[in-house]
Amino acid sequence: MMKIRSIRGMNDLLPDQSPLWQYLEETVQGLLARYGYREIRFPVLEQTELFKRSIGEVTDIVEKEMYTFLDRNGESLTLRPEGTAGCVRACEQGGLLNQAQRLWYRGPMFRYERPQKGRLRQFHQFGAEVFGLEGPDVDAEMLVMTHRLWQELGLASHVHLEINSLGTADDRARYRAALVSWLRERSDRLDEDSRRRLDSNPLRILDSKHPDTQALLADAPRLSQHLGDESVEHFRRLRALLDAAGVDYQVNERLVRGLDYYGKTVFEWVTGSLGAQGTVCAGGRYDGLVEQLGGKPTPAVGFGLGIERLVLLLDAAQAVPDSIARQVDAYLVGVGDVQAAVFTTAERLRTLCPVLRLQTHCGGGSFKSQMKKADRSAAALALIVGEDEAAAGTVTVKDLRGERPQQTLPVDEAAALINNTNP
Ligand code: ATP
Ligand code: MG
């Protein structure tokens, strides 16, 4: 019979990989908490309309990347391709938006893309969203916070920051008119996708990957020349705050982002180490979205951080901490007819050493074969309960990696030793 395989672009996370993910998740969550962000959870499945109305009908995501299907009632549902829309929906529904909120979430997102390194069909994001604050102070805070994240992960020299201002909706409308009339005169030089977008979503042409279109755009009218005073001032103050905080950045006027809801500040943290999948964290301001989804006008800013790409980058940058390889700190073996003592000793140690990762050998076997397993577990310590230890209420502590002499101690004293040496 043919074996059933996972769906293309949807990966399992095997236990050898999960410690690195946990390290990353704990680091990010810890950092978000230190900036006053609170966790929000919402479903992976939403009404299709939510994503159409927020991300925009004429975007890659909505046009060709969504997992959309009819449920048994004939209702159109979509697996979330990103988190912002669902987060806004949940906040609005939960009555959270009458005051400022700093929120985060994490979980799987789904996009029907061509799978490759750093690009999957089920991928995972951390998202952070702030509601009710106009910025640019909070825009800057987000960038300072992500900057700190790279430092804590040892990635600071592997990523750089690109920022741009997309202006207000009015600014963009003025610019769109100027861009479209300029491009229309040269539409024979546009690639097919871009020509189609001339009518539907001309700003997206700016981030076309097509080389001819790219070349043509070098001389096109610039969005920065069409920004109104409010946008110019917002962007100026953002840059001043980043300068003051010592966060380096490049202004990239081509940065437009693939989702329609963004305005004013947009940003991407980019690495050169992952080829075309170089954006590890991306976001911006979306002051119009809450209202667009039926809520009161509410300023908002947020970002998404791709966990798979960060894992790849940690590897590429050789920034994976050594401690991650080890599954357990101590491995307890029993020699002779000592099963009951093995259990009471292990449980006593778990009570007294609350952070110790202690694995008890199960399944019997000779002392030698048990010690082999202890060694293979990469534990720092072997803890041995033989018949003498069982009778005396002691345990033998053997240092598997260092030079410390073997010691037989009452269990409580062994616990104190373990806590002091922090294996
Ligand atoms: P890209 O330009 O690489 O397609 P995007 O602009 O579509 O990215 P966003 O929607 O801004 O990406 O999502 C935020 C982050 O999520 C990205 O910067 C990236 O790190 C990650 N990401 C997006 N799509 C994928 C995917 N298909 N597989 C893995 N990670 C992804
Ligand atoms: Mg994309």
330-368: per-residue pLDDT in tens?
999 999 999 999 999 999 999 999 999 999 999 999 999
- Residue 186 CB neighbour total at 10 angstroms: 11
pLDDT, position 204: 83
Segment 21-61, tens digit of pLDDT: 999 999 999 999 999 999 999 999 999 999 999 988 888 89
pLDDT, position 243: 98
Mean per-residue pLDDT over the chain, rounded: 93
Q: At 396, phi and psi to the nearest 5?
A: -95, 130
Q: What is the CA(177)–ligand 1 centre distance, in A? A: 29
Q: Which ligand is nearest to the CA of 159?
A: 1
Mean pLDDT (whole number) for 262-279: 93
Residue 210 predicted with pLDDT over 90: no
Structural contact between residues 180 and 303, judged by C-beta atoms closer than 8 angstroms? no
Q: Which atom of ligand 1 is nearest to the CA of 258?
A: 6
- Residue 12 CB neighbour total at 10 angstroms: 6
Residue 8 predicted with pLDDT over 80: yes
Residue 138 predicted with pLDDT over 90: yes
d(CA 7, CA 112): 11
Query: Residues lining ligand 1, CB < 6 A?
Result: 82, 111, 113, 118-120, 123, 125, 258, 277, 279-282, 304, 306, 308-309
pLDDT, position 258: 67
Residue in 59, 106, 309 to alter for ligand 1 test, most ligand atoms within 8 A of Cβ:
309
Residue identifier of the C-alpha nearest atom 14 of ligand 1:
304
How many helices (H) and strands (E) the chain has is answered by 15, 16
What does the radius of gyration of the chain's CA atoms come to, in whole angstroms? Answer: 27
Structural contact between residues 130 and 302, judged by C-beta atoms closer than 8 angstroms? yes
Residue 12 predicted with pLDDT over 70: yes
Strands (E), 196-288: 250-251, 263-271, 279-285
Structure tokens that stand for 2 in this block = 């043919």
Among the listed residues 283, 276, 282, 284, the one whose alpha carbon sits nearest the alpha carbon of residue 312: 276
Mean pLDDT (whole number) for 98-108: 97
d(CA 179, CA 202): 8
Using DSSP's 3-state secondary structure scheme, residue 248 falls into coil
Q: What is the CA(260)–ligand 2 centre distance, in A? A: 13
Residue 302 predicted with pLDDT over 70: yes
Its CATH class, for the domain covering 18-168+228-316, is: alpha beta
Confidence category of residue 402, pLDDT binned at 50, 70, 90? confident
Structural contact between residues 106 and 126, judged by C-beta atoms closer than 8 angstroms? yes
Regarding predicted confidence, which is higher, 254 or 307? 307
Structure tokens that stand for 237 in this block = 């103050």
Q: Which ligand is nearest to the CA of 120?
A: 1
Of 94-108, 244-258, 291-305, give the lowest mean pLDDT range: 244-258
Among the listed residues 327, 323, 423, 342, the one whose alpha carbon sits nearest the alpha carbon of residue 380: 423
Confidence category of residue 203, pLDDT binned at 50, 70, 90? confident
Mean pLDDT (whole number) for 138-165: 97
- Which homologous superfamily is 327-421 in? Anticodon-binding domain (3.40.50.800)
pLDDT, position 295: 94
Q: Which atom of ligand 1 is nearest to the CA of 121?
A: 27
Domains of the chain, residue spans: 18-168+228-316, 327-421
Q: Which helix (H) or strand (E) holds 234?
A: helix 229-245
Q: At 324, phi and psi to the nearest 5?
A: -70, -30
Q: What is the CA(51)–ligand 2 centre distance, in A? A: 15
In whole angstroms, how far apart are CA 195 and each of 211, 222, 259?
14, 19, 19
> Which residue matches tokens 């009632």?
73
The C-alpha torsion from 239 through 243 and 248 to 252, rounded to 10°, is 20
Contacts of 332 (CB under 8 A, 6+ apart): 342, 345, 346, 349, 358, 359, 360, 361, 382, 383, 384, 385, 395
195 by Cβ neighbours in 10 Å (0-12 / 13-18 / 19+) ranks as middle
Report the percentage of the chain scoring pLDDT > 90: 78
